[in-house]
Structure 1
Amino acid sequence: MIYFPYFRGKQYELITIRESAPTLSASSFVPIVEPVKSQLSGLSKTIDTTLEEGASIIVIVNPRIGDFSGSNAELVNLINEKHGEDKQVIVGVLLDESTTLEQASAIIDTFEGHDIALVHSGFSQSKALAAAIEGNDAIAFSVFEDGKSGKLYQMHFKHQQHRVLLRDGFEKRRNADHPNVEVFSDLHLTYGLEGTTGFADFLMVGDDYQESGGPAYTVAIHLTYINAADDDIMYIRHFKSDRQDTPTDPAGKFAEALAKLISHLGSPDNQYYETSAIAEFRELHDKGHYPGLGYVKKLAMKHHIETFAQYFEDNPAQ
C-alpha cells in the first residue's frame, strides 16, 4: 500500500474509482472517499465494484463538506448494515479543528470490527488521542494532511504500521492563469524521508471543493507526468484553449486544448505514459467529440492513477 488518492464523492470522482478499480487492485493503491452527496447509490456501487476487484477503500464517515456535514446517519447505516463483514471497507474518521476527542472516540466505537483510518486534518488533541487508541488494533492507518498535522503531532502516532502523508500538489488558480507546465509533486519519491510508509494527494483536482464549476472562460486539460529528466519528479501540464475571454462554446474550446495535447504527444518532449486515458483523448480528437468537462476531468484523474501505477511497476524499489 503506497498510494492513497483522495476523492470527493461527486459523480465523476466515483466513476473514476469504479473504472480504475482493476488498476487500484493490481497496484495495491487504496482510494479515500469523502462522500459529499446524500444520494448514496453511486457510492454504494463504487464500494461494490472496488471490493469485486479485490481492492480496499477508505470511506470517511464524518465528512466536513457536502450533504453529510450535518448528519451522517445514512452513511453510517450503509457501512454498518451492508458492509459490516467486509474487511476491505476501511472506516475513515476525519479529525479537523472542530472534532473533539469524544466525537472521535464515539465514531471509532460505532464501527467495532472495522479497520479504522484516522485522517488528521487540524485536530489538536494528538497526545490524548494517541493515548485513547493505544492498544486498539483496529486503528490501521493514520493519514496526515500536510500543513495541518506537524511533525511533533505525527510523532504521537509513530508506532502505527501504516502512516500516510497527504499533500495537495495542485495549485488553485483560474485556468487562464496556469503556466503551461510546472512541478506537481515529489512526494512519491520522498514519503519515506518524511517518516511515512505511503503518500496521498487530491489528484489533479486539488483540495478546493466546489459543488459545481462556473462557466468555462478557459477550458484546460490538466495532465500529470513523471519527468525522467528531473529525478522522476511529477510535473503537470495545463493544455489551455486559445479563446479565454467569454464563457461560450466549451466544445470548441475543448477542441483547441485537445489539439495542443495531441500535438505535444507527438513531440520529442513528450514523457506521458500511454495510459488508457491518453488513448481515449486520442480517440476524442479523432472523432471530434466533446464529452463534457466532467468526463474530461475523469480521464485526467484516471491518467494520474495509471501514471503512478506504471511508474511503480517500472520502479518497484520506490
Structure 2
Amino acid sequence: MYHPYFRGKQFELITIREMAPLLAEKNFVPVIEPVRESLGGLKKALNAVCIAGGRAIVIVNPFHGDHQEDGASLTGLFENDFCGYDNIAAGILLRSDMTIEEVMACYVDHAEHSPVLIHAGFTAPKELVAKLADDMPNLINVFVEDHAKLLYRKHFVQSTRILLRDGFKRQRNADYPVMEEFSDLHVTYAELGMAGFGDFLTVGDVYSEGGGPAYAVAIHLTFIDPDKDEVMYVYHFVSDTKDTPTDPAGKFAQALAKLIAKLDSGTSNILETEAIQEFRDLHAKGHFPGLGYIKKLSMKHHIETLADYVT
C-alpha cells in the first residue's frame, strides 16, 4: 500500500515513531534512508514500528548523508539489533553509478534481511532481472518515478512493484504559490500495474543538510479534493514577512493565521486530523514550537490524510 520515503533526520524519525501505530494499522510501510551517523533515533523509530506490529524498510547503502561512503554500521544494525526481525527489511538503493556486481554483492550480504530493491537511476534492469530470476516472484521493487520510467519498470512485472512519486515541488519558501497539485497516484497506482504507491511527503526528494535562516516561513498541508476526482493538492501558507532572517516566531504566526483562516472558512477540504488540532492549539496559545516541529506536523497530517482516504 502506501510507502512514505523519509530521510532519517531527527524530526522524520520522530514522525515515524509517533505515527507507528497508525502506520501499522493501515499497512503503511515507511522507507528510511539514514543520513545521520548516530543511529539512536533510527533504533527508537524501528523499535516503535516493531512494537506496533508494523513494517519498515531501511536503506543500507544511502546516497545522502553520513553513511554515503560506508554503510557498515547499518549492516551491523541489522545483524546486531534487528536480526530475525522479518518486518524490518534491508533496502538496497540502486543508483546510476552502481554496477550489477555491486548490486548483487549488497543483495547477497543482506539476503537474510528480506532485501527490497529501490530503483533510483540504475541503468541495467534486464541484467538484474536475469540475475534474480528465481527470486523475482517474492521480491518487492520500489521505483522512484523520476528515475525509473515505464519501460524500465516493465522488466520487473513478475515482482511486487511500488511506485514513488515526488509530488512536492521544492523551492524557496517565499516563492510557493497558495496551492498546487500534489499527486493522483493514490487513486491511479493500481491502473499503472502497481501494488502500492509512495511519495516524499511534504519535504520532497531534494536533499539538503539543513536550512539557513528562514527569510519566510511556510506551512505545507495536503488535502484530497472530492470534486476533482480525489486528486491530492497541497496548500502553502507563507508568512507575509519575507525579507529578513529574523523573527521566525513572528513569521510562523503569520503563516499559521492564514492556515486557521482557511480552515475556518469551511472551504479548505483539509481533513481535521490530530496534526491540525495541534496547529489550532499552537494558534490559541500563540506558541512557536520550532521549524522542525512544524515540518513534523505537516508530515503527520499528510500520513493521517492518506490513512483516512484508504479507510
TM value normalised by structure 2: 0.98
- In the alignment, the residues of structure 1 paired with residue 138 and residue 206 of structure 2 have an alpha-carbon distance, to the nearest angstrom, of 28
Between 145-154 and 244-253, the greater mean CA deviation after superposition: 145-154
> What is the deviation of 1:265?
0.8
8 Å CA contact retained: 1:116, 1:139: no
8 Å CA contact retained: 1:255, 1:285: yes
8 Å CA contact retained: 1:115, 1:139: no
8 Å CA contact retained: 1:133, 1:139: no
> What is the deviation of 1:268?
2.5
Root-mean-square deviation (CA, aligned residues, Å) is 1.1
Amino acid at match of 2:63: R
- In the alignment, the residues of structure 1 paired with residue 139 and residue 257 of structure 2 have an alpha-carbon distance, to the nearest angstrom, of 45
Counterpart position of 2:262? 264
8 Å CA contact retained: 1:96, 1:121: yes
Counterpart position of 1:316? none
8 Å CA contact retained: 2:117, 2:142: yes
Describe the superposition over 1:102-146 as per-residue Cα deviations: whole angstroms up to 9, x where unpaired: 111111111222211100111011011001111126953101111
- In the alignment, the residues of structure 1 paired with residue 289 and residue 264 of structure 2 have an alpha-carbon distance, to the nearest angstrom, of 23
- In the alignment, the residues of structure 1 paired with residue 253 and residue 150 of structure 2 have an alpha-carbon distance, to the nearest angstrom, of 46
8 Å CA contact retained: 2:16, 2:45: yes
Counting matched residue pairs gives: 311
Counterpart position of 2:221? 223
1:18 to 2:17 alignment:
yes
The aligned runs of 1:25-174 (5 Å cut-off) are 25-136=24-135, 140-160=139-159, 162-174=160-172
Amino acid at match of 1:171: K
The aligned runs of 1:155-304 (5 Å cut-off) are 155-160=154-159, 162-304=160-302
Following TM superposition, the consecutive aligned residue runs of length 4 or more in structure 1 with deviations greater than 6 angstroms are: none
- In the alignment, the residues of structure 2 paired with residue 23 and residue 90 of structure 1 have an alpha-carbon distance, to the nearest angstrom, of 19
- In the alignment, the residues of structure 1 paired with residue 195 and residue 137 of structure 2 have an alpha-carbon distance, to the nearest angstrom, of 18
8 Å CA contact retained: 2:136, 2:156: no
Amino acid at match of 2:266: P
- In the alignment, the residues of structure 2 paired with residue 50 and residue 190 of structure 1 have an alpha-carbon distance, to the nearest angstrom, of 28
Between 220-229 and 263-272, the greater mean CA deviation after superposition: 263-272
- Determine helix, strand or coil for the equivalent of 2:19: helix
Amino acid at match of 1:212: G
- Determine helix, strand or coil for the equivalent of 1:269: coil
8 Å CA contact retained: 2:273, 2:301: yes
In the alignment, structure 1 segments of 5+ residues that lack a partner are 314-318
Alpha carbons of structure 1 residues 118 and 45: separation in structure 2 relative to 1, 3 Å: same
8 Å CA contact retained: 1:180, 1:237: yes
In the alignment, structure 2 segments of 5+ residues that lack a partner are none
8 Å CA contact retained: 1:21, 1:53: yes
Counterpart position of 1:8? 7
- In the alignment, the residues of structure 2 paired with residue 112 and residue 222 of structure 1 have an alpha-carbon distance, to the nearest angstrom, of 39
Describe the superposition over 1:157-191 as per-residue Cα deviations: whole angstroms up to 9, x where unpaired: 1000x201111001121111111011111010111
Describe the superposition over 1:72-131 as per-residue Cα deviations: whole angstroms up to 9, x where unpaired: 111100112211100000110000101111111111111222211100111011011001
Amino acid at match of 1:108: Y
- In the alignment, the residues of structure 2 paired with residue 30 and residue 112 of structure 1 have an alpha-carbon distance, to the nearest angstrom, of 20
